[in-house]
Structure 1
Amino acid sequence: MYNYAITLKWSDQDHAWVALVPELPGCMADGETPEEAVSEVRKSIQDWIEEAQRVQYPVPVPLPSIDNIIKAGELLNKSELARLLGIGTRTLSARIARRTPLSEDESRRIQKVLSERGVCLI
């Protein structure tokens, strides 16, 4: 299972839910329900990656998920993670407890800072 961010929206034009993967250009799928669109786009992610590898196109590294941030919390203390994200420690603790996803900006920020420290979360 890949951890790429999925954007979900309703398309009046298509009368369907559309799931897009911003990190993988052109990777999208639709469905009658949000769940179906997400399920279909997960299949599309696999297809996109296989085709990119076949033609030797670089595959972007997915953004870290809240699960990976929890794992990083085992390596770094929460106050340091919160500082890296630019949020309070209590806010981060509450978001982890609720398993609230990180925003794309927060994900990219922490990915950059951790990679500068030699840590890669995928």
Structure 2
Amino acid sequence: MFDRVRTVMTFALDPEASARWWGELLGVPVQVDVSDAGDVYAWVETGGVEVGFHPADDERNPRGGSPVVYWGVADVDRVRERLLAAGCEHHRGPLVIGPGRRIAQLRDPFGTVVGIEGP
């Protein structure tokens, strides 16, 4: 039924600033689309996935209403430290969730919780 994750959308107070922070961290270009109403949708692409930032809206798309997406990494501790050094805050973990599997969650400077998972 499902093939692969194509897009991960998060809701941010400043979508363009969120996308630019992630684009700089990941070393990838930022794409920005502005609607006729002036709403900004910004995104980066990494690992074959579009990571999009949509305007938060308390009625339809509240900040923090997104699922936590876990990115596979080779070294949880190394990636966690890089994210912390780049401005993320600790949210949860690292935790052992099974044999050979660890996770951690961090909150980016714009309030989005992101997960990392690896050996």
TM-score with structure 2 setting the length:
0.28
| Bigger helix share | 1
* Bigger RCO of structures 1 and 2 (CA < 8 A, at least 6 apart): 2
Query: Looking at CA atoms only, which structure, 1 or 2, has the larger radius of gyration?
Result: 1
TM-score with structure 1 setting the length:
0.28
| Bigger strand share | 2
